[in-house]
Amino acid sequence: MMLNPVDLVVRSLEPALEAEWNAYVYEHPLGSPFHLTHWRDVVAEVFHYQPLYLLALEQGRVAGLLPLFLVQNLLMGRVLLSTPFAVYGGVLASHEEAKRALVGRACELAEQLRTQYLELRNASDDQLNGFHLVRRYATFQSELPSDESAILQSIPRKTRYMIRKALRHPYETRVTASLDGFFDLYSRNLRRLGTPCFPRRYFEILQQRFGPALEIREVLLQGRLVAVVMSFYFRDRVLPYYGASDPAYWEYAPNDYMYFDLMRAAAARGIRIFDFGRSKLGTGSFAFKAHWGMECKELPYEVRLVRRKTLPNYTPLNPRYQWAVRLWRRLPLSLTRWIGPHLIRLVP
């Protein structure tokens, strides 16, 4: 479809159009919680990145959108990113002309703002001209059968064995609004992995902005918290996004129980898709998710270099940062909780 240029305009998102923005996100097949203005509000309030959201309007109607943030720090320099701390982001568009217009405006902004690079965390496989494909992450998804036994049978034999092993123990599950248990176990887990933790305030603001679309499920064994997961509910899918378990109880398979329990609870409320989120290729998290028999899809993140000459890699898997990972694991938990929030904002 060819459009008259005057029929399609790209402009910055204004408050009066936020409801239409969110409605478009819910309707678009690649829409996600991270495209919603709720995510913008959380990221801007907690990390103080500058949102530069772009909206494509065709004869006054939304034809596409692109959430962007200007990130500036000593490690990365100045970067234009869609979308910080998110699995999915990038362009949502009704047709190719709108997509090209949004990406073109983003490239102009990246040049005007003298950024190091522009990164789009797209979910579409169509590679953009002038962008480098970053092959680093994959996501796992599956359709949820409607009943518990069918869910169990859909899971590969080895993982099904671990779930049945876990089901022999007297686990209890509760949904809670309290962050206490979640934050304690999650921050301990990240310290063990050598990764900085988000500030507690980040999770508090997530709860405020997403409301009932965000859920914390705690798994207890004989009254002790052994696993916890924070999940997003979006349309017909559940996205377990932040999870942790106590290594002292791993012999009882608390992770297998927790995710199976989330599956059957989500199916009971009519959820159709279980989205296991992203993992870095070649990691333990990737291997764990791969054993659940879900569809694995490489995430087509794309980077357009502006002032920088080489592709960035700020992940813990970068050999340059292995010393920092080893050091972090040895620091006291209280110190990692204090320093972590200052460090994590450097690598969104």
The answer on pLDDT for 1 being more than 60 is no
For CA atoms 201, 218, 231, 280, the dihedral sign is positive
| Mean pLDDT for all residues in the chain | 91
CB 329 within 8 A of CB 189: no
Residue 3 is predicted with a pLDDT of: 47
pLDDT in tens, 109-123: 999 999 999 999 987
CA angle 269, 275, 281 (to 5 degrees): 160
The answer on pLDDT for 229 being more than 80 is yes
Whether the domain at 5-137+300-341 and the domain at 139-298 fall into the same CATH topology? yes
CATH entry, 139-298, from 3.40.50.970, 3.40.630.30, 1.10.150.120, 3.30.1360.120: 3.40.630.30
Distance of CA 329 to CAs 40, 324, 337, Å?
31, 9, 12
pTM of structure: 0.92
CATH of segment(s) 5-137+300-341: 3.40.630.30
CB 240 within 8 A of CB 182: no
Question: Where are the chain's structural domains?
Answer: 5-137+300-341, 139-298
pLDDT in tens, 97-149: 999 999 999 999 999 999 999 999 987 666 777 889 888 888 999 999 989 99
pLDDT in tens, 157-181: 999 999 999 999 999 999 999 999 9
